[in-house]
Amino acid sequence: MSKNIILVIEDDAAIRRGIVDAFQFQGYETMEAGDGESGLELGLTAACDLVLLDLVLPRRDGLEILEQVRKGRPSLPVIILTARGDENDRVRGLRLGADDYVVKPFSVKELLARVEAVLRRTPGRPLDLSEVAIPDGVADFARCEVRFDNGDRCELSEREIELLRYLAVNAGRAVSRDEILARIWKLNPRAILGTRTIDMHVARLREKLRDDLASPKIILTVRGKGYMFARGEET
């Protein structure tokens, strides 16, 4: 069964350890960062379902991280953890797109309840896309097929539809293999090392979309990051 993955960005090691232990005890998967620089990198690339973000961090400010995550991953829920008494900081965080905030010191029960509430009301990335245009045709998710302008058709499997739709919804953003494993395969990427499943499915999708395997124009390979569905103007 898939478990929600919580990213904890907190520089106080004791607080971070306490949060991580509490969430793991409740059955969550966790990831953690102790400074703003590594926290931002994970926030933009990690296959996580929610971020717990401290505002006062070394190397990068929490509000700066929030702003960058909102630009790169607009649907990823973020809860601010703050010891600041200034109401303006909390207001600014909410205006930048934070889903909630918890003021230190807080109880573990309160934090768990806030996280559960945010996850319940967060649908994740919108995957209700019914079709997507490709050069010389359209991928129709409802009919599970690719239709080309010349009348040719090609059937898509359920997994191929899920993968293509996720990439299309995130068009213009490099999606890591770990994120695909977590979102589409519902697997913990840290428990599966060296799998070529994603690469093989992408190769098969490219064939069905008549994408140039040597120089693809629809599903791009982003070296060191993953795969990206090209925006219309890029194709």
Predicted pLDDT of residue 125: 47
Res 232: pLDDT: 63
Contact in structure between 169 and 214 (CB atoms under 8 Å): no
State residue 24's pLDDT score. Answer: 95
Task: Report the candidate in 186, 211, 214, 180 with the shortest Cα–Cα distance to residue 198.
Answer: 180
Per-residue pLDDT of the chain (235 residues; tens, 9 = 90+): 357 899 999 999 999 999 999 999 999 999 999 999 999 999 988 888 899 999 989 999 999 999 999 887 877 899 999 876 566 777 788 888 898 989 888 899 999 999 999 888 765 544 457 899 999 999 999 899 999 999 999 999 999 999 999 899 888 888 888 888 877 887 777 666 667 889 999 999 999 999 998 999 999 999 988 999 997 645 4
Q: Do both 32 and 95 map to the same domain?
A: yes
Q: In this structure, what CATH number is given to the domain that contains residue 176?
A: 1.10.10.10
- Same domain, residue pair 153 and 79: no
Give the list of residues 6+ apart from residue 101 with CB closer than 8 angstroms, or none: 79, 80, 81, 82, 90, 93, 94
Does 42 reside within a domain?
yes
- Which of 121, 152, 168 is the C-terminal boundary of a domain? 121
Q: Which of 106, 83, 82, 79 is nearest to 94 (CA)?
A: 79
Boundary-marking domain end, from 121, 152, 184: 121
Q: Which of 101, 121, 141 is the last residue of a domain?
A: 121
Distance separating alpha carbons of residues 170 and 187, to the nearest angstrom: 20
> Are both 111 and 136 inside the same structural domain?
no
* Long-range contacts formed by 130-139: CB under 8 A, 24+ apart: 132/164, 132/165, 132/168, 132/229, 133/232, 134/209, 134/218, 134/235, 135/217, 135/218, 135/235, 136/210, 137/210, 139/164, 139/168, 139/209
Q: What sign for the dihedral angle of Cα 127, 129, 134, 139?
A: positive
Query: pLDDT value at position 103?
Result: 87
* The pLDDT value given to residue 217: 94
